[in-house]
Amino acid sequence: MLISANELTALLKRVFEGMGYTPGHYEDAAALVSWLQLHREDGLGELERALDLVADRDRQANELVAEGPATLIAECHGRSALNCLPILLELACVQALEQGSIRVEIQHCHNRKFILKLLADCARQGLWAQARWENGHDPVRRHVARIEAGAAYPTYREYRLPDHLPQANRQSLTLDLGTVAHPQPELEVGAAREERCVTPADFTLARQQALENGTEISPALWQRLNQLAEAVLVESSERSRSCAGGR
Amino acid sequence: MSTPSVLESGLPEAASLSMRPASLVMDLERLGSLHQSRLSFMRSLVRRIMRERWQIEPQRFDLDADGYGTVIYRIRTRSDLFSFVLFSQYLAPEKRNDRVIASEWDLTMALCEGEVEDAYVDYLRRNVPLQEAGRLDAKVMVLSRANRSVRNFDSVVDALAHGRQPEIAQIAKVGYLYRTTAVYGSGKLGMADWEKVSRKHPDFARPFAAEMFTCFMLRNFSLQQAEFIARRRSPATAVALEPRLKRYFGIGNSTGLGMAPYLINHPQLISRWVEMRELALARILASAPVAAERLERLPQLVDRAIRHLEENFTEDEWQTGNNQRVLADLQALHEHLDRHPLQSWQPLLEWAQRHASLQGEELINCILLELHPDLVDELEDRLALPEQLELDPEMPVIRLKALIETSYDWALAIDFNADGAQETFWYRSEEKQEPRLGNCSLDEGREKQMPLGIGYLVQQCYQRITEYLAEHPQHKVARFLLRHPEQRGIVRRIQGMALTHYGEIRANLLDRDVLPMHLLRCKLSFFGVSKFDPRSRLWVRNTMFQGAPLLEDIGHPFDDDWFLPLAPTQEKS
């Protein structure tokens, strides 16, 4: 079924609010999922696959493990990017603007693809940004997204790594940020084979089409999300009806 | 990482002109005293339709003798084409419910892009009458429904069928044939997003323009339907509505609490609407000398306002009292003007501030706006803006604290420990997610309340900041939020709203005695409704487009003068 962007975001806000995300966080999480979905990068699929992970109110909070003059290492304790990345990216942006550039290592974080929207936010603040993470088993895929300062969209590439290559850091993500005065590091792909490249033009077109025609969601997932969103609703009673602004 | 403001009006004069301060303007009771003005969305929509001579014609008018069936209007604007599709069906009188939780209506309708093919009309017929229980697509821009006025519809049809015009006294009491209870747009139920509508269809790129147009079309259909039924019922004797009387019919609206959260959740937009209204007023006050014909027209509009109020009918004691006070204000003003002819507007404003009630003062402001279309009307294009509350993590925490002290002094001044200060909570009911008010000591669900108590949230945030600064006086907001992630939403709001001229509505919405009516009236006045008729402190009936031109008036000379419409005098036959 087709849904609008506004409807998608509004529903996701209620879903995350119902999961216990506080104001400020549920809007961010909804925006991250919507962004991927509206740019044809399957935000809803990513969310559906990770629904058990994103309701992580019982997980340990984000932690800054180490801070150097040009580095930041954060431990997310298995949290979803939906609730740990925005706040870490903001801190990284502040450091990058102060120092010129910074490398951030984020450990034990799920759903790292949601960083794509945050890269666009960094670019809007006048920073270039590059994110790299690996995912999957046999084959392992490397994901790289780069954006220029001031650009609206990143270029996002997926590479297939040579078979049987062990993954060094499970669920980690490396992020480089910098001002235009500092050069963006060269992309190191080694023996990796490029399988997919999404350009800024592709993102632009996807967004235009989603706005023109709506975005697709499976009725089953739509129903599931609506059920999750019911957590924000209060049971009705005769007394509550009398306080509803009606007769 | 400070973000360029998307909020500033872009008019340098907004900084140089002397505008009323936010402490005065954003007071909730004052916002609840506003009236329709030239800047209201209905007024600017009608100006556009008339100026650009939109061609609006029934493409299909399939109604049976009782007025049930399908009607499609084709709307050709200067550069675009739309279809207004309407389904009329029998509704048992006992099912006429003004609440959002109703499930059947007399009329349901949709405003669509382009032409609609038969198969698409069938799709709409399967979904539009279901309203929230149906699904639409991005070709549809607005969905609405309406109920017949029990007090008016049958008697008007009956009069016309017998060759008579309806009684004006009755129409003055209830100025419409149908009342709408919901007008949905902006992507709800699968419809086109506002971003699409505003980019692709400039005709509807102003706030709520497509929604207001839907109500305008409903009003015109209601009149055509009544005439049609009368003709079918009694072809030999039926007459059409006399044009002046016909224009005096509006469309009814019934608004409940659903509108209230909108004002809190779209603070940048509300600030902009208020800013443009205040800017218009400031321009008028700064313009000198005032032309003689404008000074002469003032008493005429004051007279009209008096007559309009005298024709205003409400059973609500509170609103009756308000109307009586405004009447007294205007009568006093009339006498004052007789004794002290004006040379400029400043003495008028000073008189209003000293002698008039809030509603009276704001009505006088609207009259001033009415006298200066040259200074007011162009601001209608500045009422829309991309809403975006941006977090500024680079801001030093100490600056955030100072920001709260200057922009939210009103919130810090509220005593939330006072009796009743936190007694109300706002929540969404499981019934159609309808917003409702709860009482903390009587109702369940406080833990699920919507975060609408902005003053309370700001005060809590301020306390956390004060404690944090004692330890980390040099830190920036990014680090404060790492320690206090629960403050993320309110910090973003404080920073974002600091870029606006008028910012927040200044009230404790958690107070036991909060009057949601003020919030409803504020938004409705920007829509352009008139004749507020509260049914409780939680919902209000009102009239839209009363006095506006009719479809058949398009193409004829138009004087935008339907402000404060008056009942026409009845011809004696």
- Cβ proximity of B257 and B436 under 8 Å: yes
State the pLDDT at residue A54.
85
Chain B CB contacts of A102 under 8 Å are none
First-to-last alpha carbon distance for chain B, in angstroms, is: 74
Return the pLDDT at B572. 53
Interface probe, candidates B5, B95, B196, B536, chain A, greatest A C-beta count within 10 A: B196
Task: Answer yes or no: is pLDDT of A94 > 50.
Answer: yes
A241 and chain B: CB distance < 8 Å anywhere?
A: yes
> B25 is written with which tokens?
């303007």
Q: In this model, does residue B15 exceed pLDDT 90? A: no
In this predicted structure, the answer to whether residue B427 has a pLDDT above a threshold of 60 is yes
Q: B223 to chain A, minimum CA–CA distance in Å?
A: 27
Sort out which chain A residues have CB atoms less than 8 A from B257's CB and list them. Answer: 244-245
Q: Do the strands A71-80 and A101-110 form a parallel or antiparallel pair, or are they unpaired?
A: parallel
Residue B570's pLDDT band, with cuts at 50, 70 and 90, is low
Average the pLDDT over B370-397 and give the result: 95
> Chain B within 8 Å of A223 (Cβ-Cβ)?
no
Mean pLDDT confidence for B414-431: 95
B7 pLDDT higher than 60 = no
For the cut 90, the answer to whether the pLDDT of residue A37 exceeds it is yes
In the predicted structure, residue B434 carries a pLDDT above the cut 90:
no
Per-residue pLDDT at A2 exceeds 60: yes
Other Cβ atoms closer than 10 A to B218: 26
Which residues in B lie closer than 8 A to residue A1 (C-beta atoms)?
A: 135, 190
Which 499-528 residues of chain B touch chain A by CB within 8 A? 516
DSSP secondary structure code for residue B536 in this structure: S
A166 vs chain B: nearest CA distance in angstroms?
33
> Does residue B41 have a pLDDT over 80?
yes
Asked whether A117 and A30 are in contact (CB, 8 A), the reply is no
Q: How far is B216 from chain A (nearest CA, A)?
A: 24
The string of DSSP codes covering B445-462 is -GGG--S--HHHHHHHHH
Encoding tokens for residue B403?
A: 């920001």
Asked whether the predicted pLDDT for residue A246 surpasses 60, the reply is: no
Looking at the DSSP bridge assignments, the partners of residue B70 are B62, B87
**Interface check A216 vs B, CB under 8 A:** no
> What is residue B571's predicted lDDT score, i.e. its pLDDT?
60
Distance (Å, whole) CA B461 – CA B480:
11
Q: Report residue B332 as tokens.
A: 């006093």
Nearest CA in chain A to B138: A213
Please check whether residue B111 is in contact with residue B82, taking contact to mean a CB–CB distance below 8 angstroms.
yes
From B241's Cα to the closest Cα of chain A, the distance in A is 33
Residues of B in Cβ contact (< 8 Å) with A121: none
- Tally Cβ neighbours within 10 Å of residue A208: 13
Strand order in B81-88's β-sheet?
B55-63, B69-76, B81-88, B107-113, B140-148, B176-184, B250-255, B540-544, B530-534
Q: Break chain B into its structural domains and give their ranges.
A: 20-38+262-385+511-553, 53-149+178-239, 397-498
Which among A125, A231, A232 has the least Cβ separation from residue B1? A125
For residue A168, name the pLDDT band (cuts at 50, 70, 90).
low
Closest residue in A to B443 (Cα–Cα): A240
Q: Is B194 on the interface with A (CB under 8 A)?
A: yes
Predicted pLDDT of residue B519 = 94
A62 at interface of B, judged by CB pairs closer than 8 A? yes
Q: Model confidence at B257, in pLDDT bands (50, 70, 90)?
A: confident
CB–CB of B273/B526 below 8 Å? yes
Please tell me whether the peptide bond between A185 and the residue prior to it is cis, using omega within 30 degrees of 0. no
Is some CB atom of chain B closer than 8 A to the CB atom of A209?
Answer: no
- B475-482 average pLDDT score: 96
DSSP letters of B72-99?
EEEEE-SS-EEEEEEEE----GGG---S
Q: How confident is the model at residue B371 (pLDDT cuts 50, 70, 90)?
A: very high
Whether residue B396 lies within 8 A of chain A, CB to CB, comes out as: no
Lowest average pLDDT, out of A48-52, B24-28, B349-353, goes to A48-52
% of chain A surpassing 70 pLDDT: 95
Query: Do residues B479 and B471 lie in contact, with contact meaning Cβ atoms separated by under 8 Å?
Result: no
The answer to whether B41 and B212 are in contact (CB under 8 A) is yes
Is residue B261 within 8 Å of residue B450, measured between CB atoms? yes
d(CA B538, CA B530): 18
Cβ neighbours of residue B28 closer than 8 Å, sequence gap 6 or more = B505, B506, B507, B515, B518, B519
Q: What is the pLDDT of residues B305-346, one digit of tens each?
A: 999 999 998 888 988 999 999 999 999 999 999 999 899 999
Instruction: At B41, list the tokens.
Output: 């969305």
pLDDT digits (tens, 9 = 90+) for A53-87: 888 777 888 889 999 889 999 999 989 999 899 99
The verdict on a CB contact (< 8 Å) between A233 and B433 is yes
Q: Summarize the confidence of residues B507-529 as an average pLDDT.
A: 94
Place of tokens 């599709």: B85
CA distance B308 to B330: 11
3-state helix/strand/coil string of B262-327:
HHHHCHHHHHHHHHHHHHHHHHHHHCCCCCHHHHHHHHHHHHHHHHHHHCCCCCCHHHHHHHHHHH
Q: What is the pLDDT confidence band of residue B5, given thresholds at 50, 70 and 90?
A: very low
DSSP labels, B401-453: HHHHHHHSHHHHT--TTSTTTT-EEEEEETTTT-EEEEETTT-S-GGG--S--
Residue B8's pLDDT band (cuts 50, 70, 90):
low
At A166 the pLDDT is 67
Amino acid (1-letter code) at residue B185: G
* CB nearest A235 (choices: B186, B189, B430): B430
Q: Nearest CA to CA, how far is B491 from chain A (Å)?
A: 9
Q: Which residues of A touch B394 (CB under 8 A)?
A: 93-94, 97
pLDDT category of residue B414 using cuts at 50, 70 and 90: very high
How much is the mean pLDDT over chain B?
Answer: 93
Considering only CB atoms, which chain B residues are within 8 Å of A7? 187-190
Q: Once rounded to an integer, what is the mean pLDDT over residues B53-71?
A: 97
Whether residue B88 contacts residue B109, with contact meaning beta carbons closer than 8 Å, is answered with no
B397 CB neighbours in chain A (<8 A) are none
CA gap B107, B109 in Å, rounded: 7
Residues 61-100 of B with CB under 8 A from A: 97-100
A99 — contact with chain B (CB < 8 Å)?
no
pLDDT of A243: 63
- Predicted pLDDT of residue B102: 81
- Section A92-119 average pLDDT: 95
Q: Which domains does chain A have, with CATH numbers?
A: 1-55+203-232 (1.10.1530.10), 61-198 (3.30.1370.60)
Neighboring chain B residues of A82 at a CB cutoff of 8 Å: none
User: What's the CA angle centered on B343, arms B340 and B346, to 5 degrees?
Assistant: 90
Task: Give yes or no for residue A209 having a pLDDT over 50.
Answer: yes
Residue B189 has what DSSP assignment?
Answer: G
Contact B138 A212 (CB under 8 A): yes
Cβ separation A4–B393 shorter than 8 A: no
DSSP β-bridge partners for residue B500: none
Q: What is the mean pLDDT of residues B462-473?
A: 98
Is A219 at the interface with chain B, CB within 8 A?
Answer: no
CB proximity B539 to A under 8 Å: yes
% of chain B with per-residue pLDDT over 90: 84
Q: Taking CA A154 as the corner, what is the angle to CA A151 and CA A155, rounded to the nearest 5 degrees?
A: 130
Region B191-203: mean pLDDT is 97
Residue B41 C-alpha, separation from nearest chain A C-alpha, in angstroms: 22
pLDDT level of residue B1 (50, 70, 90 thresholds): very low
B337, B343, B347, B349: CA torsion to nearest 10 = 80
- Greater confidence, A15 or A182? A15
Q: Mutate which of A94, A218, A228, A235 to test chain B, going by most B C-beta atoms within 10 A?
A: A94
